[in-house]
Every structure is written in structure tokens, then in C-alpha cells.
Structure 1
Amino acid sequence: MQTIQVEVNYDFICPWCWIGQRNFAAALAESGVAGSVTVRYMPYELNLSMPLEGMDRREYRTQKFGSWARSQSMDAQVAAAGLGAGALINYNIVSRTPNTRLAHGLMQFAQEHNEPRMTGALYQAIYAAYFSEGRDIGSMDILVSIASARGFDKDAVRAYLTSRSGEHKIDAARQRADNLGVRAVPTTVIDGEIISGAQPIATFTQALRSASLRSVT
């Protein structure tokens, strides 16, 4: 059986990306083809103009949606959807909206070191740090701590993030996504099939099994 290539276009600021990740992970386990799947995480920055230090979340969301009350209503809906997927979203303790470029850089580092299981665990951990624990994932110190807790060498991580040597890959991934017609995240590409949004487990399962059948014909 040939390897099934999966690309996940994401941004850590997007709760639906985390929900989609949880559904995809469940589908991967359910499909029976996990051993034949290679996942590549493709950064897609949603807030290109976000200051490097991030913004106060209440201020940012009020500006974006017109009122804090509207933002809170939307947050409640997302948190409910997250619970259904096993993603605990605690917006009441999230005080800042971060710039996610460094977090994307950390994922580039992980993928360059070719540790798929560690990389997948790190991807999940960054979402949990932000949405469940309210940590500022725009902070280098916090990202180094998250990576270290998942088995990565903290000095190597810090050196990589400080050098910003992976930024050209972040830009190239965005350009590739634009060329593919990606306009929102999450967008998951399974063996060439584009799946937009945080789809149910069954949708991902079907796509994985279909890709598996194609790989043996």
C-alpha cells in the first residue's frame, strides 16, 4: 500500500482547527489505515497584521465583531462544539490574542526533525496550551516550555525560533495554499481531496478509506 499523504492547513488561533484535528485523529483511529498515513501541517496565518506581542483579546474581539457581548455569544457556541470533540476551550481564562508566527515556526522545527508522533503531540499541545490553559502561545518562552515537555531539546528549539530560519517555509506554505484555492482554515487535503472545515469524524473516515482503496489499485 502506498503512503496516503495528508496536508492540514491550520492556524493555532482558530478553535475550529483544533476541533477538526480532534475529529481527524478519531477518524484516523477508526479508519484502520493510520499506519499508511503521513500528515504534514501547513501554516496558514489568519491575522497577518497582528502585532508581534499580540493584543488584549477583549479589545481585539470587540474591534473585530463590533461588541464584546457578540464575541462572548460566539465563544459559547465554539466551546460547546469543542466539548463534543474532546477539545476543552476555556475562553474565560484567555486574556490575549497572540501572533501565531512563532508557534508556526515551532511546528516547522518539529517537522524538519522528522518525529511524526512527537510532532502530532506537539500540535495538539499548542492548541491545549492556548484554549484550555490560557497561555500566550506568541511567547517564545512558553513555546520552548511546551516543546520541551513533549521531548524536544529546548536549546535547539530556542535557537531555531530565534534565528527565524523557518519563516520562508511559512510564507511558502501560505502561497501554496492560496494557489490551491484555500481561503479558510481548517482545510484538510487527503490524497488530493480537499475537505473544508471541521468536518465530522465520518467525513474524514470516508476520505481516508477512499484514499486507501486508491492506493492499492
Structure 2
Amino acid sequence: MTTLRNLDVISDSVCPWCWIGKRNLDEALAMLAEEGLRFNLRWRPFQLNPDMPAEGVPRAAYRAQKFGSEARGRELDANVAEAGRNVGLTFRHDLMERTPNSVASHRVVRMAHGQGLQDAVLEAFFRGYFQEGRDVGDPATLVELAAAAGMDGAAVATMLAGDEYREAVLAEDAAARSGGISGVPSFLLDRHLLFSGALPASRMADAFRRADAILSERASAA
């Protein structure tokens, strides 16, 4: 009998490569499901910009400071947009005015786990930010997007008005860093780090397949 393994994906809602990685992951998991391999998928938090002010900052100025110039920022955006097109995603960097703090979005994604809605909610946040230029650091925006993905908007608003899930999100973010993770998306199977980066779907599937076989072999030898 095949063991249903835990697949944890560490990501940030403001990471473009995480959206691309998610699309590749969807395809990889569909491939493996046809072979009878399925996983308990859970999305875990990471902050690309842990020192970001709660209200966020103007995106153009922030990226110019981070990457040395606005021109370099636009060059990187163009690379992301091309990679996105290759997997059917549209990035509208021209609509993105602010770089938000992502803690609130991670809190909503964590809340969504208990409702089986993590995947749908995170997809809504990615699409809202990268394709629609929505501010996913703004509580009202998060409530609207989460409700459209199936969550109770009033419950999400109440949660965000308090501190629920904040410490848990910050603790998981800190644990990932202390564990050596510095880039996302990162993929862990039964707590074993397999790889980081938005690998093509076929390579993802191969990595999960091989890791599952190794873990099964170890278990049978124990």
C-alpha cells in the first residue's frame, strides 16, 4: 500500500517564481496521480522581504533600491513575464504599484488550510497581485479575494482584525530560515528538502517519484 506522504511547499504570496512553481506543481501532481502517487499538500509561509513595513512600499522605488536601478528591475520583470507565458500565466507588472508586506496574506492561507482551501486562496492571491495589480497586503483586498476563493469573508475580516495566526506564521518563517532555506519556492517531502526553484513539471514529478521510492525503500529496510 502506497504511503500518502506530506508535501510541504514553502512560498511567498509576493514571489513571482512561486506562482510559476505552483503552476508547474499542479501539472506534476496530475502526472503522478495517474501513476497512483498522491500527496498531502500544504503551503508554508516565507517572507522574501521580512523587513517590509506593514503598509508596504511603492514598488518601483523599492525595486530600484533592491536591484540597483529601475532598468534592472524592469529587466527582471521581463524575464519573469516570459517564464510565466511559457506556463500559461500572464504577469502585469505595469499594474503593480506597491510591494506589500505578506504576513497578512500568509495568515489567511494558514486559516484556509483548515477548510481545504489553501490552494484556491493562494491562487487567488497570486492572480490578484501579479495579474490584476491588487495590493495583497491590504486586509480588505485579502478578504475580497479569499471570499471569492470560497472562504467566509466576515470570518477572514475578523481574523485579520486581531492577531490570530501571526505568531505561527512568523515562527514557521523563522524555522525555514534557520533550516537553511533562503529561496522559494522550496519543496519538502516528509520534511526532507528536495529542491528549491520553479522547476519544469516533468523534473518536479521525477524528483517526487524518486524521493518517494527512496523513502519507501528506507522504511521497508528499517
Mark yes or no: TM-score above 0.5: yes
**TM-score, with normalisation over the residues of structure 2?**
0.90
For residues 129-140 of structure 1, what are the structure 2 equivalents within 5 Å?
A: 129-140=128-139
Q: Quick check: 30-39 or 159-168, which moved more?
A: 30-39
2:23 partner SS: helix
Shift of 1:210: 2.5
Q: Distance in 1 between matches of 2:4 and 2:179?
A: 21
Residue matched to 1:8: 9
Comparing 82-91 and 26-35, the one that deviates more: 26-35
The aligned residue for residue 198 of structure 1 is 198
Alpha-carbon RMSD: 1.7
Structure 2 equivalent of residue 122 of structure 1 = 121
Instruction: Please give the alpha-carbon distance, in whole angstroms, between the structure 1 residues aligned to 2:47 and 2:188.
Output: 17
Q: CA deviation at 1:193?
A: 4.0
* Residue matched to 2:105: 103
Task: Point out the more displaced range, 68-77 or 177-186.
Answer: 177-186
Deviation at 1:18, TM superposition (A): 0.8
1:28/1:34 contact within 8 Å kept: no
In structure 1, the residue corresponding to 2:130 is in which secondary structure? helix
Equivalent residues of 1:28, 1:208 under 8 A apart: no
Q: What SS is found at the alignment partner of 2:126? A: helix
The answer to which structure, 1 or 2, has the higher relative contact order (CA under 8 A, 6+ apart) is 1
Tell me the SS of whatever aligns to 2:8: strand
Residues 3-36 of structure 1: per-residue CA shift (max 9 Å, x gap): 1111111111110111111111110001126773
Find the residue that maps to 1:8 and give its secondary structure.
strand
Query: Is contact 1:137–1:143 with CA below 8 Å preserved after alignment?
Result: yes
- Please tell me whether the aligned partners of residues 3 and 215 of structure 1 are also in contact (alpha carbons under 8 angstroms): no
Give the Cα separation in 2 of the matches to 1:149 and 1:180.
Answer: 35
Query: Per the alignment, in what secondary structure is the counterpart of residue 160 of structure 1?
Result: helix
Shift in Å, 1:82: 0.8
Instruction: Tell me the TM-score normalised to structure 1 length.
Output: 0.92
In structure 1, the gaps of 5 or more residues are: none
The 8 Å contact of residues 43 and 173 in structure 1, kept in 2 or not, is answered as: yes
Q: Report the count of equivalent residues.
A: 214
From the superposition, tell whether residues 42 and 154 of structure 1 become closer, same or farther in structure 2 (CA, over 3 Å). same
Match of 1:173 in 2: 172
CA distance in 1: counterparts of 2:49 and 2:193, whole angstroms: 26
Structure 1's 90 and 141: CA in aligned 2 closer, same or farther, altered over 3 A?
same
Matched residue of 1:30: which SS? helix
